Amino acid sequence: MSRRWLLPALVLATMVGAWQVAASSGAIAATLRLEDFLVPAPSEIAASLWENRSLLADNAWVTLQEVLLGFGFALVVGLGAAVVLHLSETLRRATYPLIVASQTVPIIVIAPILVVWFGYGIGPKLAIVALICFFPIVVNTLDGLRSVDPDATKMMRTLDASRWQTFRRVEAPTALPYAFSGAKIAVAVAVIGAVFGEWAGSDSGLGHLMLLDNAQLETARLFASVVVLSAIAIALFGLLALAERRIVTWR
Amino acid sequence: MPAEAREFVAEGASPATEGPPGVAVSIRGLGHSYGELRTIERLDLEAPAHGVVGLVGPSGCGKSTLLELISGLQEPVAGEVEVGGAGDPRGRLTRCAYMPQRDLLLPWLSAIDNAALALRNRGARRRAARREAGRLFERFGLAGFEGAAPAELSGGMRQRVAFLRTLVAGKPVLALDEPFASLDAITRAEMQEWLAAALRADPRTVVLVTHDVEEALYLSDRVAVLSARPARVVEELQAPSPRAPDRDAAVTDPGFVAVRERAMLALRGGAG
């Protein structure tokens, strides 16, 4: 198991090390013709992470709430929608092309509109996060439900299964790994959605903090926010992957 | 037959059915098509109660469709299909258990839970269903494999569990679609002997589809040779020694070989 992580860890360490040397020697700043303080080395970012730990934690909590609530809402509605579209062919034919087409709308750019409508609170962020999470969850889960072997459905009918029993014993377990794939994609984009929502208008959150740091040329803390955001995304993805391994034991 | 299953048969079988225990299959002038494609035409077939009828025919001739028609999964375009006197799909569904070509064991259930599916579908509690199916595991040489995941079982074992799942449903009629097609020759011969023993111990009316003439002649009382699409019966042959305990002796007997050659001839004629 640990072997699997050894090489990627080495590559990462080498890259961070190279960055440390290049940044602290001023090589990057010189090449890009920037002031030295605009190019923080990993050690400075680490220091900033530590010094600003309570500020970062407070704002990370705001962003994490937006991500979790928006994702949770999309998960419930998305799974429900997938089941409904699976059960009703008419509804699927009527709405599925629209759901797919809606993905060409760059949802994050409607964030400013939502801020105009709903203000600076958590509402617009939840809406953005939920909207971008919805699609991968619905599409993957529906794919999973539709991938059920028709012979298995026939077999269940001759074994006296009701529609609900076929759903619960065959269709839902078949779709479960697909739903997990959708959720893992969704949780990664959820963080992006939350930050865009905050950029459009907010008074707290890591996205908000990044705008302030940007204006004040606090580049080390700017990077620190990026590190925290990445950590949130990786942690949530990891939790889902772990849950998947626990639940989908037959793969 | 498990007690619960017997109850179900008693309930499901029409009281008008008389004669031997079990249920017969009767097909008259059957026709079926998928749109323009005619799959079955003017097909007649009888399976007596507790009799085994084998169906052989060229691939793609509509054998699987015929099983689905018998099981009540499809409706004929012309003619009649009756199972134990019931012609409606609902009635046929309650009397037939269908074993599809692939084992289709659900990978998220253990072997015993797969076998017990029909009992669970009828509302039995998990523990009761397992106990019921467990008895058959012991009787049919699967003891010790109750908790195994399907992925841990060999091809022959999986096929046995799939057959038990069909048996546990407690239906008087079994529709078996190429049950051993996916197995290697040696395992297939073993499984034929196993199925023969199972049917001697627990007789049912069976319609068995296979592309293997020898398998059909060994397992069935009677074998119907089907033509290429649209399928109809071109020849019916009496099997010389149905489900004989010693398979190797049975299939090498000159009488058996002669019937097998006739079936092959009919098969080639029907295919051409």
- CB contact under 8 Å between B100 and A155, yes or no, is yes
Q: By three-state DSSP, how is residue B238 classified?
A: strand
Question: Counting beta carbons within 10 angstroms of the beta carbon of residue B238, is it exposed (0 to 12), middle (13 to 18) or buried (19 or more)?
Answer: exposed
Model pLDDT, residue A117: 87
| Domain region containing B40 | 3-271
Range A41-54 average pLDDT = 94
Model pLDDT, residue B14: 39
- CB contact under 8 Å between A151 and B102, yes or no, is yes
pLDDT tens-digit map of B181-217: 888 888 889 889 988 988 888 888 999 999 899 999 9
Q: Which residues of B touch A (CB under 8 A)?
A: 68, 71-73, 93-94, 96-102, 104, 106-109, 117-118, 120-122, 149, 151, 165, 169, 171, 175
d(CA A217, CA B258): 95
Residue B6 has pLDDT above 70, yes or no: no
Q: By three-state DSSP, how is residue A224 classified?
A: helix
- Residues paired with B206 in a beta bridge: B52, B174
- Residue B21 — very low, low, confident or very high, per pLDDT cuts 50/70/90? low
Q: Are B129 and B121 in contact (CB under 8 A)?
A: no
Nearest Cα of chain A lies from the Cα of B115 at a distance, in angstroms, of 10
Q: Are B70 and B87 in contact (CB under 8 A)?
A: no
Q: Are B239 and B220 in contact (CB under 8 A)?
A: yes
- Residue B35 — very low, low, confident or very high, per pLDDT cuts 50/70/90? confident
Number of other residues whose CB lies within 10 A of the CB of residue A139: 20
- CB contact under 8 Å between B101 and A151, yes or no, is yes
Helices (H) and strands (E) in chain B, counts: 11, 9
Q: Cβ contacts of residue B196 below 8 Å, gap of 6+?
A: B218, B219, B243, B244, B245, B247
Nearest Cα of chain B lies from the Cα of A228 at a distance, in angstroms, of 38
Nearest Cα of chain B lies from the Cα of A241 at a distance, in angstroms, of 18
Angle at B91 between CA B90 and CA B94, to 5 degrees: 90
The number of domains in chain B is 1
Number of other residues whose CB lies within 10 A of the CB of residue B248: 10
Q: Is the peptide bond before B76 cis (omega within 30 degrees of 0)?
A: no
CB contacts of A157 in chain B (<8 Å) are 73, 93
Q: By three-state DSSP, how is residue B45 classified?
A: strand
Range B15-20 average pLDDT = 42
Q: Which two tokens stand for residue B98?
A: 């269908």
Residue B229 has pLDDT above 70, yes or no: yes
Where are chain A's structural domains?
A: 58-245
d(CA B260, CA A164): 46
- Residue B227 — very low, low, confident or very high, per pLDDT cuts 50/70/90? confident
Range B151-168 average pLDDT = 90
Model pLDDT, residue A176: 96
Could you tell me if A246 lies within 8 Å of chain B, comparing CB atoms?
no
Could you tell me if A170 lies within 8 Å of chain B, comparing CB atoms?
yes
Q: Which two tokens stand for residue B2?
A: 């498990």
Residue B225 has pLDDT above 50, yes or no: yes
Q: Which two tokens stand for residue A192?
A: 């992006």
| Spacing of C-alpha B57 from chain mean position | 16
Q: By three-state DSSP, how is residue B58 classified?
A: coil
Q: By three-state DSSP, how is residue B215 classified?
A: helix
d(CA B120, CA B54): 30
Q: Which two tokens stand for residue B132?
A: 């019921």
Q: Tell me the pLDDT of chain B averaged across its residues.
A: 85
The answer to whether the Cα torsion of A218, A224, A230, A233 is positive or negative is negative
- Residue A242 — very low, low, confident or very high, per pLDDT cuts 50/70/90? very high
Model pLDDT, residue A76: 97
A157, A158, A246: best to mutate for the B interface, most B CBs within 10 A? A158
Q: Cβ contacts of residue A205 below 8 Å, gap of 6+?
A: A59, A62, A63, A66, A125, A194, A195, A198
Which residue type sits at A241? A
Range A173-195 average pLDDT = 95
Q: Are B55 and B207 in contact (CB under 8 A)?
A: yes
- CB contact under 8 Å between A160 and B106, yes or no, is no
Q: By three-state DSSP, how is residue A251 classified?
A: coil
Q: For chain B, list the strands marked E by DSSP.
A: 25-34, 37-47, 52-56, 78-83, 96-99, 173-177, 205-209, 222-226, 233-238
pLDDT tens-digit map of A106-157: 877 788 888 888 888 888 999 999 999 999 999 999 999 999 999 899 999 9
Residue B7 has pLDDT above 80, yes or no: no
- CB contact under 8 Å between B102 and A154, yes or no, is no
The beta-carbon neighbor of B149 closest among A165, A173, A250 is A250
The beta-carbon neighbor of A170 closest among B73, B99, B106 is B106
Q: Are B137 and A199 in contact (CB under 8 A)?
A: no
Q: Which two tokens stand for residue A62?
A: 């705001």
Model pLDDT, residue B102: 86
Half-sphere exposure of A181 (CA within 13 A, CB side): 11
Question: Counting beta carbons within 10 angstroms of the beta carbon of residue B112, is it exposed (0 to 12), middle (13 to 18) or buried (19 or more)?
Answer: buried
Q: By three-state DSSP, how is residue A35 classified?
A: coil
DSSP-derived letter for residue A161 is -
pLDDT tens-digit map of B231-269: 888 889 988 888 988 888 998 999 999 999 999 998 888
The residue among B110, B93, B130 whose CA lies nearest residue B8 is B93
Model pLDDT, residue B39: 87
pLDDT tens-digit map of A76-96: 999 999 999 999 999 999 999
Nearest Cα of chain A lies from the Cα of B207 at a distance, in angstroms, of 15
CATH number, residue B85: 3.40.50.300
Could you tell me if A169 lies within 8 Å of chain B, comparing CB atoms?
yes
Q: What percent of chain A has pLDDT over 70?
A: 99
Superfamily for A58-245? MetI-like (1.10.3720.10)
Model pLDDT, residue B2: 44
ipTM attached to this prediction: 0.81
Range A191-198 average pLDDT = 93
